[in-house]
Amino acid sequence: MSILKRMLLKPFGKSKPGPQNCGLSDVSLTVYKGEIIGIIGRNGSGKSTLLRTMAGIYKPDNGWVGIDGQISLLAGVGVGMNKDLTGRENIHLYGSMLGNEREVMDSMTDEIIAFSELEEFIDEPLRTYSSGMKARLGISVATAVKPDILLIDEVLGVGDPGFKKRSQQRIREMMDDSNTVVLVSHSFSLLKEICSRMIMMEKGKMKCIGTPEEVIAAYHEAEG
């Protein structure tokens, strides 16, 4: 078809029928206070979609999402942070994006800086930070205020081994404080260690839910 014809017909053209692309289907899940739930699955299986639906970013076409407590989503490295602002300014910006008030952020800033181990660089613009440093800052902010429910999308694996260990320790502290965590990760060893339950997603559906050992075994079986 000529380019001109394609341009003229585009507004009136019918879209090709394709497979129904449903992000999530028939997902019914109750997460209890104090649980750490791990979600695994292949790329495109609906893990992040599920997390974002829990966070209220996506509105379900059917069904509902109910929460009891403050919820924070940690997805992507330094989401919303501005590269021209300093680390300190980004702490306030990101902290406010997570729903925290000024007074809370003012009181937590020193602790956040100490946990991130970025004291030397905290007043430098974010564009001078490496991706690992940005992730450390993001995780430090997201976990500092200890929300009732923390949703984590594949960012726990960033940072040097020392920081990874401290992030995981902070997650355990949240568990001890009866905070609830739902995390997506490809690190089965981490999930096995800290999760009380796990879910395996496949093509938008919950394929399997159970103990970490059960679900990881089911995943390996599905992968062949």
* Residues at the contact surface with other proteins, assessed by CB under 8 A: 23, 28, 52, 55-68, 71, 73, 75-76, 79-80, 82, 84-85, 89, 92-93, 96-102, 105
Q: Which is nearer to other proteins, 69 or 132 (CB)?
A: 69
Per-residue burial over 49-85, b = 16 or more CB atoms within 10 Å of its CB, e = otherwise = bbbbbbbeebeeeeeeeeeeeebbbbbebbbebeeeb
Contact (Cβ atoms closer than 8 angstroms) between residue 44 and residue 56: no
Q: Which is nearer to other proteins, 11 or 17 (CB)?
A: 11
Q: Which is nearer to other proteins, 98 or 108 (CB)?
A: 98
Least distance between other proteins and beta carbon 84 (Å): 5
Least distance between other proteins and beta carbon 29 (Å): 11
What pairing do the DSSP bridges indicate for beta strands 149-153 and 205-210? unpaired
The beta strands (E) that lie in 161-221 are given as 180-184, 197-202, 205-210
| Distance set, CA 209 to CA 33, 60, 137 (Å) | 17, 21, 32
The beta strands (E) that lie in 70-144 are given as 71-75
Q: Which is nearer to other proteins, 68 or 223 (CB)?
A: 68
Least distance between other proteins and beta carbon 58 (Å): 5
Least distance between other proteins and beta carbon 49 (Å): 8
Q: Which is nearer to other proteins, 113 or 155 (CB)?
A: 155
Least distance between other proteins and beta carbon 43 (Å): 16
The CB-side HSE value for 223 (13 A sphere, CA atoms) comes to 12
* Residues 6 or more apart whose Cβ sits within 8 Å of residue 209: 29, 197, 198, 199, 200, 215
| Distance set, CA 46 to CA 6, 202, 203 (Å) | 34, 7, 7
Least distance between other proteins and beta carbon 44 (Å): 15
Q: Which is nearer to other proteins, 73 or 208 (CB)?
A: 73
